[in-house]
Amino acid sequence: MNCEIFENIIGDPAAYGRQQQAKSAKPIIGYVCSYTPEELILAAGAHPFRIFGNSRNIELADEHLQTYSCALVRGALEDALAGNLDFLAGTVFPHSCDSIMRLSDIWRINVNLPFHCDVVLPVKLNTASSRDYFMDVLERFRLDLEKHLNRPITKSDLRKAINTTNKIRGYLKRLYELHHDNPATPKGHELYTIMRASMMMDRQDLLSELPKLIENLEAQSPKETANKRKRIVMAGSICEHPDIYSIIDEAGGDVVWDDFCSGARYFEGHVDETAEPLSAIADRYMNRVVCPAKHDGLSNRADHLVSLAKKRKADGVIFLLLKYCDPHAFDYPYLKSALDNEGVPNILIEVSDQLPAHGQLKTRFEAFIEML
């Protein structure tokens, strides 16, 4: 499968960002978490660009952040301080975990970008007052964007943006389904590449690329016949390590779905195009399964994971947790026991900035997959 465009973007996001900045008049707005309402950035005529924190050799960020912060936060700050994000016109920080919250402060003080915006969304997503507050925050975000990007954001701009993101989400989901039905096309790491690039790429370009890709895949993908390979669902915050797909693959497993905020959670949920735009955007977040830094009842996330494992006929679940990530680490024992109760085998892999050694990881996956 040819996904060179996507590979190039994730291979060197800074080069891509700078190139976009040079050729297009759209300001590029960075953001750090899937709770950032991209629709508003798009509606403001800007280009939403997700910051993943690619830096692994942390030097500059060490002056500002202790080593006990997650690789994502440290890597993002390093990128910013090293000038790898100099093409950004600004950054948006939604309130999610404590680490992102403080990253925003440190960023505002030390990274000189023209626009810094905190979108302090509610932490509870299951009450009427939190929904009203959510709306107020979106409205304030809209005004902040208008002011800083110096252009009005109308309802029709919002509708257009919603339509764009809905389509993109639909395509990404379709790709996930194709992979689910036939893990060989697209392969796990290809899907990873496309997903990740989708959050950085110009969305209009993306809109024209994705359908071509899908058409291609649909034409070539013969239905897989049953085989002995095991079906794996991955869960956790974010996957930063495409190698993991090939290691699981070598060990005899196929990652058929995930519950990552940089994966399936990104495209889940549809924004109602007939409703009042901001209200519809809020509703998508209120209805979507929550990230562990948010609250929606006491069993929402376990229910989701169990039903996901069932729906995707998973033989096993691999938790991929980023070291020093509090929200996910707190949820792990309860999610694990929910899976245990349903008889879904699972293992935990904790990664810091690097994956554990290839051989060691492969042995663990093999042992796990053999047992399934």
CB 170 within 8 Å of CB 57: no
Closest alpha carbon to 56 in 77, 69, 41, 75: 75
Question: Which region among 8-16, 272-280, 318-326, 361-369 touches other proteins (by CB under 8 A)?
Answer: 318-326
Residue type, 80: A
CB 178 within 8 Å of CB 214: yes
Interacting residue with ligand SF4 among 40, 70, 153, 206 (CB under 6 A): 70
Q: Classify residue 74 as left (phi > 0), alpha (psi -120 to 50) or beta.
A: alpha
How many chain residues interact with other proteins (CB under 8 A)?
A: 50
Q: Which is nearer to ligand SF4, 17 or 236 (CB)?
A: 236
Composition of the chain by helix, strand, coil, percent to 5: 50, 15, 35
**What is the helix (H) or strand (E) element at residue 206, kind and residue range?**
helix 203-220
Q: Which does 334 bind (CB under 5 to 8 A by kind): ligand SF4, other proteins, none?
A: other proteins
Q: Find the largest Cα–Cα distance for the chain.
A: 59
Q: Which does 72 bind (CB under 5 to 8 A by kind): other proteins, ligand SF4, none?
A: ligand SF4
Interacting residue with ligand SF4 among 100, 162, 290, 306 (CB under 6 A): 100
CB 233 within 8 Å of CB 210: no
CB of 311 to other proteins, least distance (A): 24
Q: Which does 322 bind (CB under 5 to 8 A by kind): ligand SF4, other proteins, none?
A: ligand SF4
Q: Which does 165 bind (CB under 5 to 8 A by kind): other proteins, ligand SF4, none?
A: none
Residue type, 213: L
Q: Classify residue 205 as left (phi > 0), alpha (psi -120 to 50) or beta.
A: alpha
CB of 263 to ligand SF4, least distance (A): 13
Reported in sequence order, the residue ranges of the chain that DSSP labels E, i.e. its strands, are 28-31, 47-50, 88-94, 115-119, 230-236, 253-259, 316-322, 346-351
Distance separating alpha carbons of residues 295 and 355, to the nearest angstrom: 30
Q: How far is CA 242 from CA 8, 48, 228, 359, 372, in A?
A: 14, 23, 23, 16, 23
**Residue 227 DSSP label:** -
Interacting residue with other proteins among 4, 59, 105, 243 (CB under 8 A): 105
Q: Report the site for other proteins in 155-194 (rule: CB under 8 A).
A: none
- Kindly tell me the burial class for residue 357, based on how many C-beta atoms sit within 10 Å of its own C-beta (0-12, 13-18, 19 or more): exposed
Q: Which is nearer to ligand SF4, 99 or 165 (CB)?
A: 99
- Dihedral sign computed on CA atoms, order 153, 265, 14, 204: negative
Q: Which is nearer to ligand SF4, 175 or 238 (CB)?
A: 238
Binding mask 122-151 for other proteins (x = CB under 8 A): xxx--x-xx-xx--xx--x-----------
Q: Which does 30 bind (CB under 5 to 8 A by kind): other proteins, ligand SF4, none?
A: none
CB of 65 to other proteins, least distance (A): 6
**Residue 251 DSSP label:** T
CB of 195 to ligand SF4, least distance (A): 16
Q: Report the site for ligand SF4 in 276-295 (rule: CB under 6 A).
A: 293
Binding flag, residue 14, other proteins (CB under 8 A): no
Binding mask 168-207 for ligand SF4 (x = CB under 6 A): ----------------------------------------
Binding flag, residue 196, other proteins (CB under 8 A): no
**Contact residues for ligand SF4 (CB under 6 A)?**
70, 72-73, 96-97, 99-100, 237-238, 293, 322, 325-328
Q: Which residues bind other proteins (CB under 8 A)?
A: 63-66, 68-69, 95, 97-99, 101-106, 108-110, 118, 120, 122-124, 127, 129-130, 132-133, 136-137, 140, 292-293, 295, 298-299, 321, 323-324, 326-327, 329-334, 336, 350
